[in-house]
Structure 1
């Protein structure tokens, strides 16, 4: 029996910044629920178009080489103008930037659908549309990524990014299925028209989104002069900031080496299964399914994170790389299936943690330009990776490529960790009693407790 003299037990209110660790915690926020639904529709439309696009382009051009050129034309703006695209995102309110870019991409899809329907699409118009798509994407990709993050507190950003990965995977499965039905009933133009409608769906939702805290999604105060932000100097400021941030440089190295020497499993594992393991295309389909399931499971697991670090990104990337090396030695299909599932989980968690660091480490006014630098680098290794991996496979075969690639990734990450540890030890040794030791923003954030929206560096 409780004494009447004791005060009633009042539960301590939970900090809205800390929340819970459930992978789906970002869905507590109404804006994120609407944003995720719109992105599911958008991903379905995108995969409907991608399912038929390569075959259509090959049919129009009649040349695999020309088809490759069209893909390069679409990728070129990301390589050449990623920095300027990021400067645009930092200069304008994200809601406006994302809405306009989504509307323009929808218009491109509708124009393509009309040209296909009336049999007017030719090589010239194809190249022009590819270039416009690539140019708009240099602004759209960082604007939409940062807009989604604005809808939740910083501690829920990993959940939002993981949710986006799950939505993307679900949209791919639904989109591929819908493409077959739509194209069979209405023709190839239907896939492009559906993608155009999906862009309009996102455009219609954006004006109703409210960022976490109820304010407007604008450029953080005090904003740099817009004319400066659009200039080459503004873009160079983003590059200088990126290169002066060791954790971002380390993240770039980890991701680049992982992309070049691993992750291209549609090539390496396909050749391994149908070659040395004497399997069929259906067997590779089973392996691909296991990879997809592991990726989704990893995204859900990554959603439990709150403040991931570059160290975690590297450790998981190295673990996935070592599993890749072991997978290359698989004597049969069953051991390969057992290995690829945890490999996909580790790599998916690593990717989500890396995206969280990239999108939340810079101060708010610099994030667009940081993503612009990242897009430029990502396009570069995306173009260089497949040819280099192909040469490695010609030299070492599929088993050798998987083993060598995995060991190279793990070795580079291990060497980087060793260098970082030695530098940290040297700083501790050189610090004399009474000296003030500089503390990284991330360490200061950990010492200060819960991360708040105004913190510039919430990553541990």
Structure 2
């Protein structure tokens, strides 16, 4: 038992990763408090408009679609630690500005839209830098464990943040919650400042020109990376729209208050936490079959959540949906990261971010439109059905590739350093 626990938390024996994880735990909790506060504010300003909430969600994720490939090149070329410190400071400043507007009583929907767009630009730089920085903190051997623990602290923050935000909004309003989120970014900045650069697992050289097209060419030459990437794109675009579907479900179906909405989000996050800890023992690159099975399981649970008749049943099914969501996300992430050469990792993870999160604007508009016409339940059902169908299609493509003796990898000459599968 002790050896199992020691293996699950092995990355925490590394000082740099402990510092980073502690700072992220505080900061991400603040971020999820902000998500609840922002969504509640939008619904309050617009009379529970699904299209307005979808628009704000789209604006927040649109910069990932537009800029994250360029940001992946920055992560490969420049100091990731400094990029992350700058991104967190800018995010904190944006949160302060919006909090002041809310507390002063002068906030309008267009203010929230501008904040969402600005935060999205920062996230386009922060996400690929953060994901690839984990490998510098712990090295390749502990990367799956550290990645799973990262998902665990993100999920822990998703449990604490929304539940706390719901209570604070009910008592103090959204403005103070936004101010707390602004302060939470300092935890990550301080932790990164305390990281010892000499103990990082960095390549001896950085590419002088980390071109986006080289990263795309590298990916296209590897069908074993493309298939999970495509699956992540569909699931991320249509299945992972809980920031949109859950507040609509809480307000328009169950007529719940902010605290009850926070608990629904916390139930999803609690399941995510369980899955994150379950994947800490992974040491090898997962098979494509495992990735597709995880996507199909997640989609099925999301459909059941959309069909659940009561608030309590919905919360319970969202717990299991959370398990499915993170198990799939971790399997896809490990499949891609562990099959990628370190020199290309920033750009490949930027592509992963692009398809998994950057497609959210399109998904938010689709799910928001469907939910506006057919109700909040329809958004969950559509997202789950799309995930199941995509998993079946990718599984079939993978089977054809492994059974067809004439099948050859796409692309021409293989770039240096990593397998095609």
- For the superposition of Structure 1 and Structure 2, which TM-score range results when normalised by the shorter chain? 0.7 to 0.9
If asked which structure has higher relative contact order (CA below 8 Å, sep 6+), I would say: 2
Question: Is the 1:142–1:368 contact (alpha carbons within 8 Å) kept by the matching residues of 2?
Answer: yes
Q: Look up the match of 1:209.
A: 195
| In 1, Cα distance between equivalents of 2:44 and 2:254 | 30
Please state if 1:223 is matched with 2:201.
Answer: no
Query: Among residues 51, 65, 81, which one is paired with 2:36 in the alignment?
Result: 51
Between 320-329 and 92-101, report the one with greater CA deviation: 320-329
User: For residues 210-250 of structure 1, what are the alpha-carbon distances to aligned partners after superposition, in whole Å with 9 as ceiling and x for unaligned?
Assistant: 36xx54565x343232xx44xxxx12222222222222211
Say whether 1:139 aligns with 2:120: no
Count of residues in Structure 1 that have an aligned counterpart in Structure 2: 405
Alignment of 1:200 with 2:186, yes or no, is yes
CA-to-partner distance for each residue in 1:334-363, whole Å, 9 max, x for gaps?
999998766654543232121223334322
2:359 match: secondary structure: helix
Q: What is the CA distance between 1:329 and its match in structure 2?
A: 9.1
Aligned to 2:24: 39
C-alpha displacement of 1:119: 3.7
Picking from 115, 124, 127, the partner of 1:129 is: 115
CA contact (8 A) 2:72 2:348 kept: yes
Cα separation, 2, equivalents of 1:182 and 1:149: 36
- CA–CA separation in structure 2 for the residues paired with 1:367 and 1:459: 14
1:361-416 CA-to-partner distances (Å, cap 9, x unmatched) read: 32223222222222322345323335556759959x96985885465234213312
Matched, 1:87 2:73: yes
Taking the aligned partners of 1:403 and 1:46, their CA distance within structure 2 comes to: 25
Answer yes or no: is the 8 Å Cα contact 1:325–1:407 preserved in 2. Answer: no
Matched, 1:414 2:390: no
Where structure 1 has 5 or more consecutive residues not aligned to the other structure, the ranges are: 1-18, 429-439, 442-454
* Contact 2:139–2:201 (Cα < 8 Å) also in 1: no
1:158 and 1:353 in contact (8 A); partners too:
no
Q: Deviations over 1:23-67 (max 9, x none)?
A: 222212122222111111102211222222123345557794555
Partner of 1:239: 216
Which residue does the alignment assign to 2:294?
A: 316
The CA deviation at 1:143 is 1.3
**In the alignment, what sits opposite 1:350?**
328
Match of 1:161 among 140, 143, 147: 147
Secondary structure in 2 matching 1:81? helix
Which of 103, 122, 135 matches 2:89?
103
Closer, same or farther: CA 410–237 of 1 in aligned 2, 3 Å: closer
Q: Deviations over 1:67-115 (max 9, x none)?
A: 5434333222111111111122222111111111111111112222233
Distance 1:333 1:127 in 2: 30
Q: Return the TM-score normalized by structure 1.
A: 0.72
How do residues 322-401 of structure 1 correspond to structure 2 at under 5 angstroms? Answer: 344-385=322-363, 388=366
The structure with the greater share of residues assigned to helix is 2
The normalised TM-score by structure 2 is 0.77
The alpha-carbon distance between structure 1 residues 321 and 50, as it changes in their structure 2 partners (threshold 3 A), is closer
SS for the counterpart of 1:154 is: coil
Q: Contact conserved, 1:90 with 1:369, CA < 8 A, in 2? A: yes
Q: Whose radius of gyration is greater, 1 or 2?
A: 1
Once the two structures are TM-superposed, the CA of residue 306 in structure 1 deviates from its matched residue by 0.9
